Amino acid sequence: MTYQDLWHRLTPLYDDGEAQAIIRLVLDVQFGITLTDIYTGKVSELSREAEEELEKIISRLEHSEPVQYILGRETFCGRTFHVAPGVLIPRPETEVLCHWIEEDYNHPYCALQPPIPLQILDVGTGSGCIAVTLAADVYNSAVTAWDISGDALLIARENIHQYQLRVELKMEDALHPSDVAMQQKFDIIVSNPPYICNKERTDMAENVLSYEPETALFVPDNDPLLFYRAIAEYGVQALSTDGTLYFETNPLYIDDVKQMLSELGYKQIELRKDQFDKLRFTKAIRP
């Protein structure tokens, strides 16, 4: 069994570069085999037990199971997060959203403010990758994270504890916030909500459709702004004066999101591209 043999088995599903990257990740994380080890032929020197384990992993990969779920981890903003089928796998695009918030609030002016923590709400936290990143990297912040899924909250809690951060986790439905939630105030609300319409399924990869949670991905075809509208309406009440709303947005509907925010009275609405040159993020100031 060679490195070439392994990645060639994945080419029916992935292009050559991605297949090679997946195999390198598996070999490194699961077996401690570095790129140098690969070049020196260490893959063919695995023990029989390790070979059997590797074969099981390759078989799962051949059935389109995401490598992140198989390994139970993904990297986001320089940190490793536990992931499992109950949560969406963190994407590199979402890192841009976190960096935008950090740029806006980690500057000298903010450091001179009174020592009252910046109240941040992450709606639909999933693995907790946004909440953990902002709790760790935004100066003097207090982060609350919502999710409707108990499984997601358990995974988020594990990731929060891993980095010894204080994030308040709450089971909340973004479409129907509780009475307690309606009494709270936040300086920042951030969300990467479900935003893919069912009609877009035909353009999606099998490893996403078969394994990642549908509740974190899809919205009805007749209401693509379902979560954006609900969260924005909540923000009208829950955001502090000049509080800021940040969304990761479906590029197909980002103009509609902008229009909806304008109709709700939000000010200084900005759009930003991701690293792949797609308009994907929205920022707006509370009415």
Q: Is 253 exposed, middle or buried (0-12, 13-18, 19+ CB in 10 A)?
A: middle
Residue closest to 123 by CA, chosen among 279, 227, 250, 241: 227
Q: Write the CA distances from 13 to 61, 205, 207, integer angstroms.
A: 9, 9, 9
Side chain identity at residue 52, one-letter code: E
**Predicted confidence pLDDT, tens digits, the chain (287 residues):** 899 999 999 999 999 999 999 999 999 999 999 999 999 999 999 999 999 999 999 999 999 999 999 999 999 999 999 999 989 999 999 999 999 999 999 865 555 555 789 999 999 999 999 999 999 999 889 999 999 999 999 999 999 999 999 999 999 999 999 999 999 999 999 999 987 776 777 676 766 666 667 666 677 777 889 999 999 999 999 999 999 999 999 999 999 999 999 999 999 999 999 999 999 999 999 97
CATH assignment, 76-285: 3.40.50.150
As a whole number of angstroms, the distance between CA 97 and CA 105 comes to: 13
**Torsion-angle region of 281 (φ positive above 0: left; ψ -120 to 50: alpha; else: beta):** beta
Quote the pTM value.
Answer: 0.91
As a whole number of angstroms, the distance between CA 44 and CA 54 comes to: 12
List 122's β-bridge partners, or say none: 145, 190
- Asked if 230 contacts 174 with a C-beta cutoff of 8 angstroms, the reply is yes
Residue 205: helix, strand or coil by DSSP?
coil
Residue closest to 98 by CA, chosen among 285, 286, 283: 283
Q: Write the CA distances from 287 to 9, 23, 148, 200, 226, integer angstroms.
A: 54, 49, 27, 33, 20
Q: Is 220 exposed, middle or buried (0-12, 13-18, 19+ CB in 10 A)?
A: exposed
Residue with tokens 């909500």: 193
